[in-house]
Amino acid sequence: MGLSLRSWIANEGGKHCILITWLSVSAWIFWRTFILYCSGAEYHYLHKMLGLGLCISRASATVLNLNCSLVLLPMCRSILTVLRGTRQVSSKKARRLLDKSKTFHVTCGVAICVFSVVHVGAHLVNVVSFSVRYSDEFPALNVAHYRGQSVPGITGVLLVLVLFLMFTASSHSVRVGNYEIFWYTHNLFILFYVVLLMHVVGGALKYQTNVDAHPPGCIPANQTRAHSDTWPNQEVDGELVAESREMSLVCKEDAHFQPHFPQTWLWVLGPLCLYCGERLYRYIRCNASVTIVSVVRHPCDVIEVRMLKNSFKARPGQVSPTLSSAVMNSSSCPTENKETFGIHVRVVGDWTACFSELLLPDLEHSEILPMTNQRRYPNDEWRRYKLQRLYFVWVCRELNSFYWFAELLCGLHRKLWEQNRPDYLNIRLYLTTAQELQNLTDEKYRPLHSRLLIGRPKLKLLFEEIGRSNQHKKVGVFCCAPKGVSRELHKLCNSFSASGTVFEYNKESFS
Partner 1 sequence: MGKIEWAMWANEQALAAGFIYLTGGIVGVAGQFSGWKFAAFGIAAGVFVCLLEYPRSKRIKGTNFERTGQYCFTVCVKAFGPLTRNYYVRAFLHAVLCIPGGFMLATVLGCVCLGIASLIYLSAAIHGEHWEPILPEAEPTKHVSQSIKQPPQNPPPRPPADMRRKRLDDLEAAAYVNPIPVRE
Q: In the complex, which residues of this chain contact partner 1 (CB under 8 A)?
A: 117, 120-121, 124-125, 127-128, 150, 157, 160-161, 164-165, 167-169, 171-174, 176-178, 180-181, 349-351, 367-368
Smallest separation, CB 189 to partner 1 (Å): 17
Cα–Cα distance for residue pair 498/511, rounded to 1 Å: 35
**DSSP code per residue over 56-113:** HHHHHHHHHHHHHHHTTGGG-HHHHHHHHHSSTT--HHHHHHHHTHHHHHHHHHHHHH
| Phi (first) and psi of residue 253, to 5 degrees | -135, 165
Smallest separation, CB 354 to partner 1 (Å): 10
Shorter beta-carbon distance to partner 1: residue 137 or 398: 398
Cα–Cα distance for residue pair 386/92, rounded to 1 Å: 12
Shorter beta-carbon distance to partner 1: residue 134 or 405: 134
| Phi (first) and psi of residue 71, to 5 degrees | -65, -25
Smallest separation, CB 246 to partner 1 (Å): 39
Cα–Cα distance for residue pair 292/307, rounded to 1 Å: 4
Shorter beta-carbon distance to partner 1: residue 148 or 334: 148
Cα–Cα distance for residue pair 206/255, rounded to 1 Å: 11
Smallest separation, CB 276 to partner 1 (Å): 26
Smallest separation, CB 173 to partner 1 (Å): 4
Smallest separation, CB 144 to partner 1 (Å): 12
Cα–Cα distance for residue pair 120/126, rounded to 1 Å: 10
Smallest separation, CB 349 to partner 1 (Å): 6
Cα–Cα distance for residue pair 47/38, rounded to 1 Å: 7
Shorter beta-carbon distance to partner 1: residue 76 or 169: 169
Smallest separation, CB 178 to partner 1 (Å): 5
472 conformational bin, left if phi > 0, alpha if psi -120 to 50, beta if neither: left
Shorter beta-carbon distance to partner 1: residue 118 or 293: 118
Shorter beta-carbon distance to partner 1: residue 271 or 349: 349
Cα–Cα distance for residue pair 498/454, rounded to 1 Å: 28
Smallest separation, CB 240 to partner 1 (Å): 48
Shorter beta-carbon distance to partner 1: residue 169 or 200: 169
Smallest separation, CB 176 to partner 1 (Å): 7
H-helix segments, 260-316: 263-286
Segments of 425-490 assigned E as strands: 425-431, 452-454, 474-479
Smallest separation, CB 163 to partner 1 (Å): 10
Shorter beta-carbon distance to partner 1: residue 120 or 198: 120
Cα–Cα distance for residue pair 153/148, rounded to 1 Å: 16
Q: Are 141 and 130 in contact (CB under 8 A)?
A: no
Shorter beta-carbon distance to partner 1: residue 8 or 167: 167
Shorter beta-carbon distance to partner 1: residue 125 or 390: 125
Parallel/antiparallel/unpaired status of strands 326-330 and 341-346:
antiparallel
| Phi (first) and psi of residue 386, to 5 degrees | -80, 90
Long-range contacts (CB closer than 8 Å, 24 or more residues apart) made by 381-388: 381/92, 381/95, 381/96, 381/99, 381/476, 381/478, 381/506, 382/476, 382/478, 384/92, 384/95, 385/92, 385/474, 385/476, 388/424, 388/470, 388/473
Shorter beta-carbon distance to partner 1: residue 171 or 291: 171
Which of 146, 145, 150 is closest to 126 using CA atoms?
Answer: 150
